[in-house]
Structure 1
Amino acid sequence: MKALLEFQDHLQKSRRIVALVGAGLSVSSGLPTYRGTQGLWKNFNMIDLATPDAFYIDPGLVWQFYSWRRFNALKAKPNKGHQAVSQLAQIKGNDYITITQNVDGLQSRSGHPKHNLYEIHGSLFELKCTSFTCNYTDRDNFTNPLTPALADTEYEYDSKRKRRDLDTDQSISPQFRPVKELAELDLPSCPACNELLRPGVVWFGESLLLLVIDQIDNFIEEDHVDLVLVIGTSGTVYPANSYVDRIKLKGGKVAVFNTDIDQDVLEGKVSNTWGFKGDAAETLPLALKPLLEKNPASTTI
C-alpha cells in the first residue's frame, strides 16, 4: 500500500509520461503471448513463419497464419488495461506517448488517439505492397477474410473432431485443419499495381520503422520524462529496454505492471522503481484510478 500511494503521488505530479506496452496486457482479452509452449500454429513454429524468407518461399502458408491471427485479434475486445492507457493518453496538459510492441490493434480500438500511439512492430490490420516501386499501404483494414481463398483458414482445429472419443471416453488430440495450397493469385493483391500484399508487421530480421523510432527518440530526448509505465512486458528486448534505461538515467521513475517482476523491485530495493505484480489489465486501472477519476476520457471508450 505504501508503494501504491507513493506511485500515485508521483503519477499525479508527472507531466511527461511514457507507457511501454507488451503482450501481457492482451492476455485478459484472450490473446496468448505466443511464448514458450504457446509458440506453435498447426505444428509450425510461429517464429519461423514470421520472417521475410518464409513469405518469399510460401506466401500462401504465411497468409493463412496471419489470417488466423487477424481473426483471433478481431474476436478479442480491449480490456480495462487498454482503456486505462487510452484514457491516460487523453489527459490535457500532459505530454504523453504510448509505445506498444503489440500488433493486435487492441490499443487503438480502445479509443487511443492516433497522434501519440506508436505501434513499433506494426499492425495485423495494415497491409503493404511488396513491390519496391510501389508504396501502397492500407491501414485499419478489418475485412475478414481478406480474400475468398482465405476463408476457413482462420480456424486452427477441425471442429468435427471431438476432444473425447465417444466409444472409449478417452481424450484425443485435436485435429488440425490442413493448410491449403494457395497460389499468389488467391492472396491479397495491391489495388495500385496488382503485386502481392503482405501483413504490415515487422518480421524477424527486419528493421523497425526509422520514422517511428526517431519520433520516440525525440520525445525522450527533448525534455525530462517524469515517469515510464512498463505494462505487460519484461522490457528486456531492444529497443524497449533502451527506453526504460534512458528515462531512468535522466531521473525519470519506473512503474512495472506485470505477472513476472524481479523480487528486488517488489521489495522496493531498486531505486525510483515500483513493481505491481499481477494481471496488468487489473492492476493498472487500480493504480491509475485517482488520476483518471479527475480526468474523464474525452472520447467514448
Structure 2
Amino acid sequence: MPRTDVNEFKQLINGSTRILALCGAGLSAASGLPTFRGAGGLWRNHEPTSLATPEAFAIDPGLVWLFYAWRRHMALKAKPNKAHYALAELAKKKEHFLCLSQNVDGLSPRASHPTRSLRLLHGNLFDLKCFNQCGYIEPNVLRDPLCPALAPAAEDYPPDQTMPLLDPTIPTPKIKLSDLPQCPNCKEEGKASPLRPGVVWFGENLPDGMLEEVDDWVEEGKIDVMLVIGTAAAVYPAAGYTQMAKARGAVVAVFNPDVSARAGLGGNDFFFQGDSAYFLPKVLEDIIGEVNVPE
C-alpha cells in the first residue's frame, strides 16, 4: 500500500530538485468544470469523445463547435482554484519543475503558471486553427460568444433551469458552415476553410516537438518526485510518463478522490485521496507559503 502521511511527503518534496507533474481534469474539478469521465459524463446524450475527432467535425462542424463553444463559456466563467495557484508557485520556487497538463481549459495559464515550466499536451480551447491545416493559428481568443451562430452556447440560466443547448429533447440549432469562424488565410486565397478549436483530437498527434522536448527533460537525470494530479493517466502518451519517471528514480504521489487511482503504486509511493485543491497547498506549504486566490 502507498503511504498517506502528509508530513512525510512534505519532507520528501521540500528536499527535491527535479519534480515532474502530470495533471488531468480533476485538477479543475474544484473550479466547477466537469471531467466527463465520471458518472453522467455525457453532453446531450453524446459521448464527448465522439465529438473530439476530425471526422466528427467534418460531418457536423456546427454540432462540434457548439460543444466546444459551451466548454469555452464554462471555462471562462470558472476561476483557477488553489491547486492551480499552488503549482504555479511551485514552478516559481523550483527551477527544475516541469508540469504536463492534459487540460485545455486555460486555467493554469490564468493562474500565472510560468510558461517555461508548463506544457499543454492537448492544446488550448482558446486557440483557433485552420481545419484544412494551412498553418494559420490565432492564439488565446477569449471573446464569448465566438460568433453569433454560437451564441446559444454562451447563455446563462438560473441553477434550477436547464440550458436549452444541454436539453437533448430540444434539437440543436442548425448552423451553416459559412456562419462559423473562417480561416482568413484560406479566404484570401479564395478557399473556404472553417477554424476549429486548437485542441488535440483523438487520432491526432501532439504539437510538433512537444513529446521530444518532454522526453529530453526526463532523460536529463534523476527525477525526485512525480505528482499525478486529478488523472488516472489512462491515455497515452500521458500514461507512459509515470513509468518513465519511476525508471528515473521518482517517488510517485497521486492526488485523486477515486481510490482506484492508487492502482500500481508501491510502498514507497504516496496516495492522497481527495480534492487536489485541498491537498496540494497543504503538502507544498513549506515551499510556497500560503496560497491566496484573487477575488
Whole-angstrom CA distance in 2 between matches of 1:28 and 1:193: 40
**Residues 128, 137 of structure 1: 8 Å contact kept:** yes
**Residues 255, 274 of structure 1: 8 Å contact kept:** yes
Q: Please state if 1:139 is matched with 2:139.
A: yes
Matches within 5 A, 1:66-145: 66-91=68-93, 94-132=95-133, 134-145=134-145
Q: C-alpha offsets along residues 137-165 of structure 1, whole Å, 9 cap, x if unaligned?
A: 11111111111111123359x87x967xx
Superposition RMSD in Å: 2.7
Q: TM-score, normalised by structure 1?
A: 0.86
Aligned pair partner of 2:276 in 256, 274, 280: 280
Task: Give the 3-state SS of the residue equivalent to 1:271 in structure 2.
Answer: coil
Give the number of aligned pairs. 283
Task: Give the 3-state SS of the residue equivalent to 2:205 in structure 1.
Answer: coil
Task: Give the 3-state SS of the residue equivalent to 2:253 in structure 1.
Answer: strand
Moved more, 221-230 or 191-200: 191-200
Task: Give the 3-state SS of the residue equivalent to 2:115 in structure 1.
Answer: coil
Q: TM-score, normalised by structure 2?
A: 0.87
Aligned pair partner of 2:30 in 25, 28, 48: 28
Whole-angstrom CA distance in 1 between matches of 2:175 and 2:263: 50
**Residues 162, 174 of structure 1: 8 Å contact kept:** no
Unaligned ranges ≥5, structure 1: 164-172
Unaligned ranges ≥5, structure 2: 188-192
Q: Percent identity?
A: 45
Task: Give the 3-state SS of the residue equivalent to 1:90 in structure 2.
Answer: helix
Matches within 5 A, 1:1-301: 3-91=5-93, 94-132=95-133, 134-155=134-155, 177-194=170-187, 195-262=193-260, 270-293=266-289
Return the letter of the residue paired with 1:290. Answer: D
Return the letter of the residue paired with 1:216. Answer: V
Q: C-alpha offsets along residues 56-99 of structure 1, whole Å, 9 cap, x if unaligned?
A: 0111111111111100111111000111011111115x311110
- The equivalent residue for 1:168 is none
Q: CA deviation at 1:211?
A: 0.9
Residues 1:19 and 1:193: Cα distance change in structure 2 (over 3 Å): same
Return the letter of the residue paired with 2:145. Answer: P
**Residues 254, 262 of structure 2: 8 Å contact kept:** no
* Greater Cα radius of gyration, structure 1 or 2: 1
**Residues 126, 137 of structure 1: 8 Å contact kept:** yes
